[in-house]
Amino acid sequence: MSPLFFKLFFLVTFLCLTGHNAVALAQSPAPNSSNIEIDNEDLNEKATESITASIDSQFGIIVENMANVLFWEPVKAVPIPLIVIILLCGSIFFTIYHNWLNIRGFKHAIDITRGRYDNPDDPGEISHFQALTSALSATVGLGNIAGVAVAIQTGGPGAVVWMMLIGLLGMTAKFNECTLAMVYRKVRPDGTVDGGPMHYLEIGLQERGFPFPVAKCFGLVFAIFCIGGSFGGGNMFQANQATSAVRGMIGDRPGLDWFFGGLLAFLVGLVIIGGIKRIGQVTEKIIPLMCGIYVLAGIIILILHANQIPEAAVLIVRSCVSPEAAYGGFIGVLVQGIRRAVFSNEAGVGSAAIAHAAAKTDEPVREGMVAMLGPFIDTVVICTMTALVVIVSGAYNTPEAGKGVEMTRWAFSETLSWFPTVLNISVFLFAYSTMISWSYYGEKAWQYIFGTTKKAIIIYRILFLGFIVLGAVASLENVITFSDLMILSMAFPNIIGGVILAPRVKVLLQDYWRRYKANEFTVYE
Amino acid sequence: MALHASTVVVPIDFSSASASAINTGLEIVENPSQLYLIHVMLPLETMSPGVLLGDVTDVSRTAKVTTALKKLAETHNATDAHLAVTIGTPGLEIADYAKREKADLIIIPSHGYHGLKRLFLGSVAERVLRHAPCRVLVLRRPD
């Protein structure tokens, strides 16, 4: 039995243990077939719908079972999933422990990102600015456009406050994890870099006195959830909402889900299997422009509705402190706000640390500070803007506005009739770039478990493309739950490990800050 | 029986184990020019940040590895050693290189890069053993 097979067996066993009931459903009889004669086209259409419904329901059962385990609520009287408690407490801890670095280090973080301290001879692959762009291309996406609409839909306008708050606190969580990724990264002789939570958990925890099996276990659990996250939020959610955007644009057609899912898989496959890097390069470079257009359109709408903003702000604050029962009360709003914010900015999740580890610098703290800007741009700026547009346009309480990305499109098109076309292009490009970035994160985690052999890598890439098609055909609810499960669960090992390793970061930060205040750094610009 | 070889291939992954393989090679050959050091790079990941946004290319990677190989050879007083950098599956590339250079010995450490190191022979060493056109000397892990 080869080691690769051995490890695949473990991964499948793990996933089956969390979703064992799916097997029972898989063995259940196929949907009823009738002997009534109908024309071929109708039959094909019904067969496609039946396959789609069957896949979606089986997927739903797996997701439900996984949710029971991973979204366990430890205190019955207060229905907050354990992972949300960990994310909230972790972010508060990092912010206090690093002495409100998200505020005191903000200006310095901007200076670093501007290239003030960029030394081209430092080890690494990309500049600070490029590292931030790369991490943002994975986080800025449908979480900001569709996720915010979902948060308001399920948690009410008050969820926005919690999104912003966790966005601000998450800045220091991001700082902690990205600094650690830099400290424990491996620079290969060819100049490329290998880093991320699986490495800092494995090596760092051993340095803190944990035995090898425990440290390795942290790394492995993170890697398993990261692979899941790359199939969920980094893939299925994007494919699902991009398909939804196309459906909104051209109307629902039979087989559209399969066709568009296949097309997306083909286009992603061109880069990750075909090796056509030019497509990925162009997309990555267009993303900041699309972000700019999106934010600009939002600002125009908010200026045109300026008189409604105070009213919207009052509504947001009022719904936050005394939310309606329909949204699950105070706790329901809090949980929704945190889930959607973390899903969008991935602070505490550890994914961005894989991208930031590639930065050209020999100062780990410096890259950590650049990473801090990620949740700010993603959540405090872009998500809040989307939320305000959804609220001032009235989309959040208009049933015909639809769900997710459809609601956001409706909200923007109320004021800017030409915007849906731009939004659809943005949705496609955001989804595409997020999928490419997440395929890299997932592959790094996959390599951590299965090694760098050609066979192992190609298996992952084919699975990744398969999940794109699955995401396009599955329902939004199932996709969101699965994506949340995987991405948020990455925070279990990452935040617990991050807290254990925080003293190491603190020592580095104090030394760095002292040198910064003493003007000891060389300025290159 | 003393081991004699006049064309010795030593795969280099820049670990301490591959450095000790160079020393073993130097003990076997008559002069360093009979040593053939090869480093095999994994294919470029087209979705990595360095490729998408930075300037990481196969040319830039090859230049960096060649410099590192030269430095390594210098530290072992083997500046006359032949150096090669290729891209592909390490085990196969090493065996191909040995064929091209008509090597009569390959010296490789037994360690794996990853995974269940204590249970399995390194996958690279295993593949070299299977595909090598000549004798292969597998060095034990120090532990």
Among the listed residues A141, A104, A233, A174, the one whose alpha carbon sits nearest the alpha carbon of residue A512: A104
Position A440: which residue type? Answer: Y
User: Which secondary-structure segment (H or E) carries A81?
Assistant: none
Any residues with CB less than 8 A from the CB of A250 and at least 6 apart, and which? Answer: A256
Among the listed residues A248, A192, A481, the one whose alpha carbon sits nearest the alpha carbon of residue B42: A192
- CB pair distance less than 8 Å for A277 and B89: no
**Separation of alpha carbons A30 and A50, rounded Å:** 9
Per domain, the residue ranges of chain A are 79-515
- CB pair distance less than 8 Å for A452 and B113: yes
Task: Taking each helix axis as running N to C, give the angle between helix A128-139 and helix A419-450, from 0 to 180 degrees, rounded to the nearest 10.
Answer: 100
Angstroms from A187 CA to nearest CA on chain B: 11
Residue A91: what pLDDT? Answer: 95
Which one of B49, B65, B115 has the shortest CB-CB distance to A130? B49
Domain-embedded: residue B63:
yes
Give the CATH fold of the A79-515 domain: Amino acid/polyamine transporter I (1.20.1740)
Helices in A251-276 by DSSP H: which ranges?
256-272
- CB pair distance less than 8 Å for B52 and A190: no
Spell out, as residue ranges, where chain A has pLDDT lower than 70. 1-49, 323-328, 525
Q: Can you tell me which residue has the tokens 């948020």?
A: A488
Please check whether residue A8 is in contact with residue A463, taking contact to mean a CB–CB distance below 8 angstroms: no
- CB pair distance less than 8 Å for B54 and A358: yes
Which one of B47, B64, B115 has the shortest CB-CB distance to A451? B115
pLDDT in tens, chain B (143 residues): 467 788 999 999 888 888 889 999 999 999 999 999 999 998 888 889 998 888 899 999 999 999 999 999 999 998 999 999 999 888 889 999 999 999 999 999 887 544 444 445 567 888 898 999 999 998 876 65
Please check whether residue B139 is in contact with residue B110, taking contact to mean a CB–CB distance below 8 angstroms: yes
Query: Which tokens hold the place of A313?
Result: 């702000």
Domain ranges, residue B96: 8-139
> What's the total number of domains in chain B?
1
The residue of chain A with its CA nearest to that of B91 is A453
Please check whether residue A176 is in contact with residue A498, taking contact to mean a CB–CB distance below 8 angstroms: yes
Which residues in chain A are contacts of B64 at CB distance < 8 A?
A: 189-191
Question: How would you write A386-431 as a 3-class SS string?
Answer: HHHHHHHCCHHHCHHHCCHHHHHHHHHHHHCCCHHHHHHHHHHHHH
Query: Which tokens hold the place of A32?
Result: 């009823």
Angstroms from A6 CA to nearest CA on chain B: 10
Which residues in chain B are contacts of A7 at CB distance < 8 A?
A: 115
Which residues in chain A are contacts of B68 at CB distance < 8 A?
A: 189
- CB pair distance less than 8 Å for B39 and A189: yes
Residue A498: what pLDDT? Answer: 97
Residue A247: what pLDDT? Answer: 85
Query: Which tokens hold the place of A136?
Result: 């943002």
Reported as half-sphere exposure (CB side, CA atoms, 13 A), residue A57 has a value of 13
A interface with B, Cβ–Cβ below 8 Å: 3, 6-7, 125-127, 130-131, 133-134, 189-193, 271-272, 275-277, 280-281, 284-285, 355, 358, 436-437, 439-440, 443, 447-448, 451-454
Question: Where residue B48 sits, what CATH number does that domain have?
Answer: 3.40.50.620
Residue A43: what pLDDT? Answer: 60
Which one of B45, B65, B123 has the shortest CB-CB distance to A189? B65
Which residues in chain B are contacts of A189 at CB distance < 8 A?
A: 14, 39, 64-65, 68
Query: Which tokens hold the place of B76?
Result: 């072992």
Residue A120: what pLDDT? Answer: 86
Residue A41: what pLDDT? Answer: 58
pLDDT tens sequence across A394-433: 898 888 888 888 899 899 998 888 888 888 888 888 899 9
- CB pair distance less than 8 Å for A126 and B50: yes
SS3 A121: coil
Residue B119: what pLDDT? Answer: 46
Please tell me whether the interface predicted TM-score (ipTM) of this complex is above 0.90. no
Please check whether residue A378 is in contact with residue A144, taking contact to mean a CB–CB distance below 8 angstroms: yes
Residue A214: what pLDDT? Answer: 96
User: Could you give the strand order of the β-sheet that contains B105-109, starting from the edge strand earlier in sequence?
Assistant: B82-87, B35-41, B8-11, B105-109, B135-139
Angstroms from A274 CA to nearest CA on chain B: 9
Position A431: which residue type? Answer: A
Position B15: which residue type? Answer: S
Cβ contacts from A onto B, under 8 A: 95
Which residues in chain A are contacts of B119 at CB distance < 8 A?
A: 3
**Separation of alpha carbons A484 and A487, rounded Å:** 5
The residue of chain A with its CA nearest to that of B12 is A189
Which residues in chain A are contacts of B113 at CB distance < 8 A?
A: 451-452
Domain-embedded: residue B3:
no
The pTM assigned to this predicted structure is 0.86
DSSP for residue A195: -
